[in-house]
């Protein structure tokens, strides 16, 4: 069977070069090339599904060099899911930014394509140093994008992101250097075979996790994210919140579960996850800015996903709930950021205290936003419920205290969701305005589709559970990975 | 330990119940969207205290002090004050996070 | 010799971390970042180094004892890649620092804290 996965990275790179050379001359080209590149990447990903189902894992040795010496492309179940999510979210980001970005569009789309190249590379690569290079590609385009508005807050967030980000990825590089010094290989499968379980592995693992936690904005490495989301276009905020976190969580899964097989690591992941969800929720409760609140809530939700990964090290069903929660969170984040664009463009600000009383202007929009906030909390019959419920049940038998904390965090989530909904939609401090809420057609379609998905996944959670169960079945076998890459 | 959530249906064998609830919820959403509620204009928002007209801004709940009591009781604003916007502080967090991860790894 | 180089690499890294974390001047932070990365590069180079090693080029003369006597070429390739990445990050950081100075009229990082909370 033909291997489509390896064409995605060159294709995205080529589209970035086309946009940067021709984009400022032919204005329509920016958007069209982005859409075509992302759509065809999505199609290539979906075309490789039969291969994944047949063989259990997609392996491609780049330029024919065999595994320990060449670079391997390896995509398992979760990798396939993450690739699809990157392209779907990329399409949504492209559609939001079509209306949001008014000037210097070719720069935005070029950097956005480079950002996607980095994320795709991080997902599919089977080589640690190659992973570092792709991490730097995506981080660097994110650094430049985070100063896109060219005003005071944008530059401040950008310089903070640059210094924190490159500091953490330098720490990641020390981890790679130590692993190479200890085992003499950079290939993940080869490393997996050569690793001797022991005390000394912990130091490189901690260094590598620092870099990954920074990329995924896990507390206490999260400080750059709310600033970047606040002072930049909502479309870039969606890209930073949804896909970057998903990719780095997948990388954590890859390193901790597949490469190191560090099952004793579950306790540490759970501590970090509890800290992340608690700090994220408490900070979201105290925000005045809509985008910043959404950013903190995304941090809090990524804590839940990490919690699932930590539980999954002990009981495989934790991975299932984590993946299901990842899917739900990405959907909810997409709805929240599309709404944030519409709202902040209506009020010309993203400060929530200057908003109010638009619930009558577009009721379907109001319902969509409310459903998204409620599913963030995990209300029954909405899509966040099933995954959170499974997390509670699994953790009740393993770590009762963790279950208690995650339940408290859900209550805090309900509190800030209610506050945001009241401030934006119900607060009658402002007079009722006759000017209708402007929602472009593409945004209407996206919101309607996402609303239907949220409701269907909420009322029939078995669909999502079966999907995540199948995905996990395709990616838990360490032997398959080892055999696939090295044979 | 058996955690057989996935093998059976999540809400029990209630596919038809779930479908019914789904339809009811959709009708509820349709009702919310289609109904014509009374708009609150300036006159209906006027407040009266003991027969006298009151200034609404004086009596309404300030949005940002919604959960002030809870936040103050549990001293949750310490976490907000820790996000001081100082770059050196954030870099120290990265360093401390690294050290803490290392320590937890060593001790457990 | 190798042990001394390891110490040097660790000292470089420690100095870099100290400068990045404790200095309040933005430019000094960026210089600290550079020193930190240079320490890592030195560390990577020493990993592949051997006492009295030969250059990793196979010729007809040295093919018998090549494996035991040549230095490891892979870390050098890694360092080359990493230097390029480090250069571009430094350039980007310096450009952003000048732009920050244009807007804020200061490079004291304690005063660039308008986005707190």
The tens digit of pLDDT for each residue in C17-55 reads 999 999 999 999 999 999 999 999 999 999 888 888 888
Tell me: pLDDT of A192 over 80: yes
Residue A326 Cα to chain centre, angstroms: 8
**Tell me, what's the pLDDT at B7?**
44
Residues in chain C: 117
Residues of chain C with Cβ-Cβ distance to A143 below 8 Å are 89, 92, 96
Residues of B (7-36) whose Cβ lies below 8 Å from A: 9-11, 15, 18-19, 21-22, 25-26, 29, 32-33
State residue A48 phi and psi, 5-degree precision. Answer: -85, 5
Q: Per the CB < 8 Å rule, is C117 touching B80? A: yes
Find all residues with CB under 8 Å of B75, minimum gap 6, and list them.
none
Cβ atoms within 10 Å, residue C102: 10
% of chain A at pLDDT higher than 90: 67
Chain C residues with CB under 8 Å of A166 CB are: 33, 89, 93
Cβ atoms within 10 Å, residue A216: 24
C114 within some domain: no
Q: Which of A170-174, B46-50, B72-76, B79-83 has the lowest mean pLDDT?
A: B46-50
Tell the residue number behind the tokens 């990050």, with chain if given.
C89
Tell which residue, A482, A474, A479, has the closest CA to residue A80. A474
Nearest CB to B83: which of A283, A367, A393?
Answer: A283
Q: What is the CATH classification number for the domain harbouring C19?
A: 1.10.287
Q: Does A266 touch chain C (CB under 8 A)?
A: no
Percentage of residues of chain A with pLDDT beyond 70: 98
Q: Residue A429 pLDDT more than 80?
A: no
pLDDT higher than 50, residue B2: no
Q: Do C104 and A180 touch (CB under 8 A)?
A: no
CB contacts, 8 Å: B98 with chain A? 171, 206-207, 210
Assess B66–A contact: CB distance below 8 Å, yes or no.
Answer: yes
Span A241-270, average pLDDT? 90
The 10 Å Cβ neighbour count of residue B8 is: 10
Judged by CB atoms closer than 8 Å, whether chains meet at A429 and B32 is answered as no
HSE of B14, CA atoms in CB hemisphere, 13 A? 12
Residue of chain C whose alpha carbon sits nearest to that of B87: C109
C91 touches A: beta carbon within 8 Å: no
pLDDT at B74: 87
Q: Please, which pLDDT band fits residue B76 given cuts at 50, 70 and 90?
A: confident
pLDDT digits (tens, 9 = 90+) for A102-149: 888 999 999 999 999 999 999 999 999 999 999 999 999 999 999 998
Name the residue ranges covered by the structural domains of chain A.
Answer: 265-487
Strand segments, DSSP code E, in A8-114 are: 58-61, 72-75
Report for A201-205, C71-75, C88-92: range of highest mean pLDDT: C88-92
Give the separation between CA C24 and CA A159, rounded to whole angstroms: 13
How many beta-carbon pairs under 8 angstroms link B with C? 28
Please report, rounded to a whole number, the percentage of residues in chain C having pLDDT higher than 70: 100
Q: Check residue B13 and give its pLDDT.
A: 62
Instruction: Please report which confidence band the pLDDT of residue B3 belongs to, taking 50, 70 and 90 as the band edges.
Output: very low
Mean pLDDT of B42-51: 73
Nearest Cα residue in chain C from B91:
C21
Confidence band (pLDDT; 50, 70, 90) for A22? Answer: very high
Distance CA C48, CA C81 (A): 16
C109 close to B (CB below 8 A): yes
Q: Cis check for the bond before A79: say yes or no (omega within 30 of 0).
A: no
Contacts of A129 in chain C (CB under 8 A): 78, 81
Give domain status of residue C18, yes or no.
Answer: yes
CB contact under 8 A, B87 and C112: yes
Q: How many CA atoms lie within 13 A of A33 on its CB side?
A: 25
Q: Answer yes or no: do B67 and A202 touch at CB < 8 A.
A: no
CB contact A429 to B (< 8 Å): yes
Q: Which of residues 45-64 of B touch A (CB under 8 A)?
A: 45, 60, 63-64
Q: What's the burial of A389, exposed, middle or buried (CB within 10 Å: 0-12/13-18/19+)?
A: middle
Task: Give the distance from residue A113's alpha carbon to the nearest chain C alpha carbon, in angstroms.
Answer: 18
Domain total in chain C: 1
**pLDDT tens digits along A380-403:** 888 889 899 999 999 998 899 999
Q: How far is A161 from chain C (nearest CA, A)?
A: 10
Beta-carbon separation of B85 and C17 below 8 A: no
Contact list in B for residue A163 (CB cut-off 8 A) is 87, 91
Handedness of CA A438, A446, A121, A243 (dihedral sign): positive
Mean pLDDT of A323-339: 95
- Collapse the DSSP code of B35 into the 3-class scheme (helix H, G, I; strand E, B; otherwise coil) and give the result: coil
Mention every residue, 6+ apart, whose C-beta is less than 8 A from residue C78: A129, A177, A180, C44
For position A433, what pLDDT does the model report? 64
What is the average pLDDT score of chain A?
91
Strands A58-61 and A72-75: antiparallel
Whole-number Å distance between alpha carbons of A417 and C97: 37
How many Cβ atoms are within 10 Å of A139's Cβ, its own excluded?
23
Work out whether the CA dihedral A345, A348, A352, A354 comes out positive or negative. negative
What mean pLDDT is predicted for residues A415-428?
86
| B26 has a pLDDT exceeding 90 | no
Torsion angles phi and psi, residue A61, rounded to 5: -90, 115
Q: What is the pLDDT of residues A202-235, one digit of tens each?
A: 899 999 999 999 999 998 899 999 999 999 999 9
Give the residue on B whose Cα is nearest the Cα of A167: B91
Establish if C19 belongs to a structural domain.
yes
- Residue A148: what are its φ and ψ, rounded to 5°? -65, -35
* A226 contact residues in C (CB cutoff 8 A): 115
Give residue B34's pLDDT. 81
Residue C116 lies in a domain: no
What is the distance of C-alpha B46 from the center of its chain? 29
Hey, is the C-beta of C43 within 8 angstroms of any chain A C-beta?
yes
Min mean pLDDT across A13-17, A215-219, B20-24 is at: B20-24
Alpha-carbon gap, residue A396 to A375, rounded angstroms: 22
Domain residues for the domain of C44 are 2-104
Give the pLDDT band of residue B60 (cuts 50, 70, 90).
Answer: low
At residue B20, the pLDDT reads: 84
pLDDT of residue A64: 81
Quick check: B91 contacting A, CB < 8 Å? yes
Q: How far away is chain C from the Cα of A155, in angstroms, using its nearest Cα?
A: 6
For residues C2-24, average pLDDT: 93
pLDDT value of position B14: 66
Please tell me the predicted confidence (pLDDT) of residue A96: 92
Q: What would the mean pLDDT of C48-66 be, rounded to a whole number?
A: 83
Q: A156 contacts in C (CB within 8 Å)?
A: 100, 104, 112, 114-115
């Amino acid at each position: 069977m033909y291997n489509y996965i390896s064409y995605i990275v060159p294709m995205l790179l080529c589209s970035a070069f086309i946009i940067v050379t021709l984009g400022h001359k032919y204005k329509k080209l920016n958007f069209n090339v982005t859409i075509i590149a992302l759509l065809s990447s999505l199609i290539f990903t979906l075309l490789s599904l039969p291969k994944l189902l047949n063989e259990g894992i997609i392996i491609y040795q780049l330029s024919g060099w065999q595994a320990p010496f060449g670079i391997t492309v390896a995509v398992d179940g979760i990798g396939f899911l993450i690739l699809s999510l990157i392209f779907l979210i990329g399409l949504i980001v492209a559609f939001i930014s079509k209306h949001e970005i008014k000037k210097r569009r070719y720069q935005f789309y070029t950097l956005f394509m480079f950002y996607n190249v980095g994320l795709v590379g991080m997902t599919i690569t089977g080589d640690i140093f190659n992973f570092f290079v792709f991490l730097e590609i995506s981080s660097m385009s994110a650094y430049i994008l985070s100063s896109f508005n060219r005003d005071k807050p944008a530059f401040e967030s950008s310089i903070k992101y640059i210094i924190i980000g490159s500091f953490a990825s330098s720490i990641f590089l020390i981890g790679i250097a130590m692993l190479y010094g200890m085992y003499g290989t950079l290939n993940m499968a080869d490393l997996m075979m050569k690793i001797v379980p022991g005390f000394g592995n912990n130091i490189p693992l901690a260094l590598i996790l620092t870099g990954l936690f920074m990329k995924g904005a896990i507390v206490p490495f999260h400080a750059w994210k709310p600033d970047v989301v606040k002072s930049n276009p909502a479309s870039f905020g969606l890209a930073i919140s949804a896909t970057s976190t998903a990719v780095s969580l997948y990388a954590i899964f890859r390193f901790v579960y597949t490469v190191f097989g560090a099952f004793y690591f579950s306790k540490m992941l759970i501590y970090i996850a509890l800290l992340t969800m608690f700090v994220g929720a408490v900070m979201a409760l105290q925000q005045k800015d809509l985008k910043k609140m959404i950013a903190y809530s995304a941090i809090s939700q990524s804590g839940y996903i990490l919690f699932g990964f930590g539980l999954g090290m002990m009981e495989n069903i934790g991975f299932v709930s984590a993946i299901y929660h990842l899917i739900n969170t990405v959907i909810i984040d997409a709805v929240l950021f599309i709404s944030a664009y519409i709202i902040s463009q209506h009020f010309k600000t993203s400060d929530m205290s200057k908003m109010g009383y638009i619930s009558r202007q577009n009721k379907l929009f109001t319902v969509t936003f409310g459903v998204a906030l409620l599913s963030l909390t995990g209300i029954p019959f909405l899509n966040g419920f099933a995954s959170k419920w499974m997390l509670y049940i699994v953790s009740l038998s393993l770590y009762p205290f963790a279950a208690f904390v995650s339940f408290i965090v859900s209550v805090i989530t309900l509190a800030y969701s209610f506050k945001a909904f009241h401030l934006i939609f119900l607060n009658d401090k402002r007079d009722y305005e006759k000017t209708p809420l402007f929602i472009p057609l593409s945004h209407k379609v996206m919101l309607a589709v996402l609303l239907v998905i949220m409701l269907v996944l909420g009322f029939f959670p078995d669909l999502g559970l079966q999907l995540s169960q199948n995905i996990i079945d395709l990616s838990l076998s360490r032997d398959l990975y080892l055999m696939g890459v090295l044979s | 330990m058996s955690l057989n959530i996935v093998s059976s249906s999540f809400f029990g064998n209630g596919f038809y119940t779930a479908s019914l609830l789904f339809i009811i919820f959709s009708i509820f959403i349709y009702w919310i969207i289609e109904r014509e509620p009374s708009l609150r204009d300036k006159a209906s928002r006027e407040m009266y205290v003991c027969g006298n007209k009151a200034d609404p801004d004086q009596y309404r709940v300030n949005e940002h002090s919604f959960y002030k009591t809870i936040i103050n009781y549990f001293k949750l604003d310490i976490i907000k004050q820790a996000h001081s916007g100082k770059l050196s502080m954030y870099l120290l967090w990265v360093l401390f996070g690294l050290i803490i991860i290392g320590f937890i790894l060593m001790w457990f | 010799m190798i042990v001394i180089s390891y110490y040097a690499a660790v000292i470089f890294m420690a100095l870099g971390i100290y400068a990045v974390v404790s200095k309040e001047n933005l430019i000094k932070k960026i210089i600290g970042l550079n020193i930190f990365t240079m320490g890592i590069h030195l560390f990577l180079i020493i990993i592949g180094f051997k006492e009295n090693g030969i250059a990793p080029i196979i010729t007809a003369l040295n093919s018998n004892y090549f494996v035991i006597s040549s230095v490891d070429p892979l870390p050098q390739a890694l360092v080359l890649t990493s230097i390029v990445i480090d250069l571009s990050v430094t350039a980007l950081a310096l450009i952003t620092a000048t732009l920050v100075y244009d807007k804020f009229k200061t490079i004291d990082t304690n005063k660039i804290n308008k986005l707190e909370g």
